[in-house]
Amino acid sequence: MADPGTTTPRERYRSQVRAEIKERAWKQIAAAGASALSLNAIAKQMGMSGPALYRYFAGRDDLITELIRDAYRSLADAFTAAARAEPGLSGPAHALRRWALEEPQRYFLVYGTPVPGYQAPDDINGIAREIMATLLDACAEPPAGPPPGSPVPAASALAEHLAAHRDWAGDHPAPAAGLRRALAVWTRLHGVLSLELAGHFTGMGFDPAVLFAAELESVRSL
């Protein structure tokens, strides 16, 4: 954020209006999902005309991009801070769950159903790769593994496949086993979180936090 002392009153006003637009957009998304986002409805709530609001955001996709960028940046910062405070998988994993529970509308915007017709720009994909790089670093810790003396398992078909299909990992030097482990962590934990946030565990009589912790523990030996 720019230093208020280096910005003009007009720039500060523009920043405040953009922040209010985004705040109202998040409320719309929380109520009806991103596909129902309406700039005209936001303009009406703010006492503005539709064309006036378009001076702040060029269109729906421009606004969605800003919201996704903010959400990814928030998660990336939480991931990085957690990894620095607690090396290994536990820190980033529990940071992901805290962030998702505190910001469910942000979670579903970036990890839920894609917005029809929307394509994220490259800089957002870059933030997503930053998050994945932090996870790959965390997965570099030695796995718990089987008890001493147990047979060494053969390389899995998935690990072999990932060794030749690693675009999603960017230029991270993780070996195939690390890629497999990170992908397992990512899919399993997101699976639990998505079901929890969507309310599918309601009435089942168990604590989703315990399930999340168990899934995290199960991937430590991969």
Q: 122-138 vs 176-197: helix axis angle to the nearest 10? A: 110
Q: CB under 8 Å to 113, separation ≥6 — which residues? A: 33, 35
Q: Please give the model's pTM, rounded to 2 decimal places.
A: 0.84
Query: For residue 174, which amino acid is it?
Result: A
| pLDDT tens series, the chain, 222 aa | 556 567 898 899 999 999 999 999 999 999 988 888 999 999 999 999 989 999 999 999 999 999 999 999 999 999 999 999 988 899 999 999 999 999 899 999 999 988 888 888 888 989 999 999 999 999 886 565 555 555 445 457 888 898 889 998 988 999 888 898 999 999 999 999 999 999 999 999 999 999 999 999 988 777
Structure tokens at 192: 């639990």
Tell the residue number behind the tokens 């303009």, with chain if given.
43
